[in-house]
Amino acid sequence: MGKMTVDLCGIELDNPVIPASGTFGYGYEFAELYDINILGTFSFKGTTKEPRFGNPTPRIAECTAGLINAVGLQNPGVEKVLSEELPKMRKVFHKKVMANVSGFSLDEYVYTCSKLDCCDEIGWFEVNVSCPNVHGGGMSFGTDPAAAAEITAAVKAAVSKPIIVKLSPNVTDIVSIAKACEAAGADGISLINTMLGMRISLKTKKPIIANVMGGYSGPAVYPVALRMVYQVSSAVGIPVVGIGGVSSAEDVVEMMLAGASAVQVGAANLIDPYASKKIIEDLPRVMDKYGIDSLKSIIGGAR
């Protein structure tokens, strides 16, 4: 069997498969179904300084080859994550975990990351500057190179762990934003977050989502994600985590050939809670089929 281990910002993963933030909670829900320590790691639910109820319902709309969500970063706030969620997670997941953090100001990003930095179980910060379904924050930072760089530099100065900046595809030049984050001290880049989309009900003649628009994810966005991973990984010298429509072991290998050092699985977890487990278990077959002895060796191979 080929070697599936990869390195992400100096931390070795048993395999490159990472459930994406917002699709895996804090892990313990999925631990009732299978041993989640099979995962490379996972990115836990997006955390903000204060508790957030999220957007009004309905928040989900089905689409061809995907779905639109406008959950709006619903979470209990960093204090409850520290006191309640992480202790429960610690009982079922025994590897380093990725902390996804969002904010509505530079100070909020710094505060939340600083509070979490003391947790031994956190291996990386995934700094989300790309959420498309909240007002007054998130994506507004990730669409401007200077703003993204400012957040990156401030968080980097405040924490001791590697920071991976999560970027939005809803821009004309994602490479310039990635390069600005790298120059500001980012240890890695993850992309893509969801694309902005909407659905309209033919019965009501109104938008289905109460927020009108939301983040489109699923297999339909995969070619866009793959293209952006290829572009960004070709332009920066730090690891890239590929996200967007990944639903098979073949998708993981293709993402890595495009330049991803690790690969996140998002919407597929909502369709099948065993999706990430199945992908990991199928990787040896796919590696054997295509003559791959080590996943590390194929990173950026398409270039």
* 11-60 per-position pLDDT tens digit: 999 999 999 999 999 999 999 999 999 999 999 999 999 999 888 899 99
Instruction: Decide if pLDDT at 134 tops 70.
Output: no
Of 77-81, 128-132, 243-247, the one with minimum mean pLDDT is 128-132
Catalytic residue, from 113, 118, 119, 131: name it. 131
What span, in angstroms and rounded, lies between the C-alpha atoms of 115 and 121?
13
Q: Do residues 156 and 135 make contact, with C-beta atoms less than 8 angstroms apart? A: no
Tokens describing residue 237: 């010298």
What is the average per-residue pLDDT within 64-87?
93
What span, in angstroms and rounded, lies between the C-alpha atoms of 207 and 56?
13
What span, in angstroms and rounded, lies between the C-alpha atoms of 169 and 199?
19
How many percent of the chain have pLDDT more than 70? 96
What span, in angstroms and rounded, lies between the C-alpha atoms of 28 and 89?
6
Is 118 a catalytic site residue? Answer: no
Confidence of residue 72 (pLDDT cuts 50, 70, 90): confident
- pLDDT, tens digit, 9 for 90 and up, residues 197-226: 999 999 999 999 999 999 999 999 999 999
Q: What class has domain 6-298?
A: alpha beta
Tokens describing residue 137: 């924050």
pTM of the predicted model as reported, rounded to 2 decimal places: 0.94
**H or E segment to which residue 263 belongs:** strand 262-265
Confidence of residue 140 (pLDDT cuts 50, 70, 90): low
Confidence of residue 135 (pLDDT cuts 50, 70, 90): very low
Confidence of residue 130 (pLDDT cuts 50, 70, 90): confident
Instruction: Decide if pLDDT at 158 tops 70.
Output: yes
Query: Domain ranges in the chain?
Result: 6-298
What is the average per-residue pLDDT within 116-145?
78
- Average pLDDT score, the chain: 94
What is the average per-residue pLDDT within 153-178?
96
- pLDDT, tens digit, 9 for 90 and up, residues 92-102: 999 999 999 99
What is the torsional sign of CA 303, 226, 290, 285? positive
